[in-house]
Structure 1
Amino acid sequence: MGVVDGFNHHLFLYRAARSATAGVPGRFQAAVEMLVDWVEDQAKSIVNNAESRRFVAPLALTVFLWIILMNVLDLLPVDFLGWVFIQTGLGAEHGDPLYYHRILPTADLNVPMGMSLGVLLLTLYYGIKIKKPGGFVKELFTAPFSFGGIAGILLSPFNFLLNIIEYGAKTVSLGMRLFGNMFAGELVFMLIALLGGAWTGFNGASIGLGIGHVLAGSVWAIFHILIVLLQAFIFMMLTLVYVGQAHESH
């Protein structure tokens, strides 16, 4: 699903680029231009290197749209894709519709942690590129506690350990934040779906659970739209912040 979402996101931007005109833009072109300008402004306010922004700003836009497209899969009915796969025979190798109920890529720890590891590699790359290998290694041992003489030598192992912990904590928290929120949201959708699955006929309990299923599902879906956008925004902004920090010296 993540690969499909990535293709759709690139198709979305490709379509906007192909249909762009020099005159008065249409609504689609205007919306895309506003989104691109907004991400560019965010990058300018955080990453102070213009050359780096030529890569980082489009990357931030890609991350933002990709996460949104992956997250909105959570708004599909819980058993819809399972039903489609079983009906078309595509799910015959598993034979269990429940296998397809958890389709959200960002609720699979491999996806958000893989993306956060990519951000870690990017921060290391820019840290070495901007500060040079010698300066980057020196900063690992001399920051955040910088002293001269014997005190600096004694503190260098602690500085190195703190910096390694900082890199690890940033990476884990970045991926786990996205995973935790989307996993919980998907779980709530599945629990709400159980209300509809309790239908046993036209009786008071079943009708009450059915109405509760529709109301709870609708309210949670509307609220979940905010979560979808917010998690994409947070991941994008933290990506920019971490890359921006890689350009700065302690």
Structure 2
Amino acid sequence: MTTEHGGHAAPANATQYIQHHLSHLQSGEGTAAINLDTFWVSALLGLVFLGIFSLAARRATSGVPGRLQNFVEWIMELVNDTVNSAFHAKSAVIAPLAITIFVWVWLMNAMDFLPVDFLPRVLEFFGVYKLRVVPTADVNHTFGMSIGVLLCIIGFSIKAKGVGGWGKELFTAPFHAHGVAAIFLAPVNFIFQMLELLAKPISLSLRLFGNMYAGELIFILIALLPWWAQWLLGGPWAIFHILIVTLQAFVFMALTVVYLSLAVEKH
């Protein structure tokens, strides 16, 4: 049995409640479906990131910095330290890319801190009855980001080694051989290179998705408990989740930098 809210059938039991909160607001059907909630939330958070950092840049001063400037500079120092320790080539792109990844992924992860029913209830007044607010809990989004990283890996490799050098490496590493042995080992090398190349985006996407999906599901389960149990369990879990949200954003950024560093090294 279901109850009606604004002409829409609301979840009547725990199973329907969980299924409802794990359903995306979609456009289209089947493989052509687009998760509109993932798209718009991630896009808006990207604009939030640009807005905050643009504001900090405009207000930057060589004198006594304000809180916003201190905060942004702290993030940039954290990311720059990671880049300097992991990326040993010269690139004007790597640091801005790393900062963008870290802050954007953190903002998307942090949407998990909003009460489970808050935004869905708000959007019900506008006729929207499905909404998932954590883009990184959508495997389509995390895999899309990892494909972007894959394209960066290929681009960095070609820029550092040239098309010929990168193509040669695909058939000569990791088993370097000469003469006839090199010809026989070329297919094996190519297979290993493809496996390594494809494993990077898959591991990036599934690691982030798995952690954030699990966190989202736990918050949904806590929301099913009585109010006193929600405060008792939700508070400690939210505090612990701050570490998970930050750690997963840092890991995605750090691994991206490591993969790009490996891409420009000659093997």
TM above 0.5, one fold?
A: yes
- Give 3-state SS (helix, strand or coil) of 1:147's partner: coil
Structure-to-structure mapping, 1:26-65, within 5 angstroms: 26-50=66-90, 52=91, 54-65=92-103
CA distance in 2, matches of 1:46, 1:230: 17
Confirm or deny that 1:221 pairs with 2:261.
Answer: no
The separation in 1 between residues aligned to 2:115 and 2:64, in whole angstroms, is: 39
- The match for 1:3 is 43
Q: What is the match of residue 246 of structure 1?
A: 263
Q: Select 2:107's aligned residue among 62, 66, 69.
A: 69
Computed over aligned residues only, the root mean square deviation of the Cα atoms, in angstroms, reads 1.1
Which letter does structure 1 place at the counterpart of 2:65?
P
- Between the aligned partners of 1:137 and 1:219, the Cα distance in structure 2 is 51
Q: Deviations over 1:203-238 (max 9, x none)?
A: xxxxxxx32221111111111111000000000000
Match of 1:19 among 59, 68, 87: 59
Q: What does the per-residue CA deviation read over 1:139-181, in whole Å, with 9 as the maximum and x for residues that have no partner?
A: 0000000011111111110000000000111110001100010
In structure 2, distance between residues paired with 1:30 and 1:222: 24
Question: Structure 1 segments of 4 or more deviating over 3 A?
Answer: none
1:90: Cα distance to partner?
4.0
Structure 2 residue 189 is matched with structure 1 residue 159? yes
Q: Which amino acid letter does the alignment assign opposite residue 69 of structure 2?
A: Q
Alignment of 1:156-235 (within 5 A): 156-196=186-226, 210-235=227-252
Question: Which one-letter code corresponds to 1:4 in the other structure?
Answer: L
Take 1:44 and 1:59, find their aligned partners in 2: how far apart are those partners? 13
Q: Hey, what's the Cα distance between the residues in 2 that align with 1:27 and 1:62?
A: 20
Q: Which letter does structure 2 place at the counterpart of 1:82? A: P
**Higher share of residues assigned helix:** 1
- Give the structure 1 partner of residue 29 of structure 2: none
Equivalent in the alignment of 2:180 = 150
In structure 2, which of residues 122, 147, 156 is the aligned counterpart of residue 84 of structure 1? 122
Count of aligned pairs between the two proteins: 227
Structure 1 segment 96-135 matched on structure 2, within 5 A: 96=129, 99-100=130-131, 102-135=132-165
Q: Cα deviations across residues 22-81 of structure 1 (Å, max 9, x unaligned)?
A: 21212321221122122122212222222x2x1110110000000111111111110111
Gaps of 5+ in 1: 197-209
Task: Tell me, in whole angstroms, the C-alpha distance in 2 between the residues paired with 1:31 and 1:75.
Answer: 20
Deviations 1:86-115 (A, max 9, x none): 13x241xxxx4xx22x32100111111111
Mapped to 1, the partners of 2:247 and 2:206 lie a distance apart of 15
Check conservation: 1:145, 1:155, Cα contact below 8 A: yes
In structure 1, distance between residues paired with 2:143 and 2:201: 8
Inter-partner Cα distance in structure 2 for 1:120 and 1:86: 38
Secondary structure at 2:93's aligned position in 1?
A: helix
Q: Distance in 2 between matches of 1:14 and 1:60?
A: 17
Contact 1:47 1:247 in 2 (8 A): no
Equivalent residue of 1:34, what SS? Answer: helix
Alpha-carbon separation, structure 1, partners of 2:42 and 2:212: 14
Identity of aligned residues (%): 50
TM-score, normalised on structure 1?
0.88
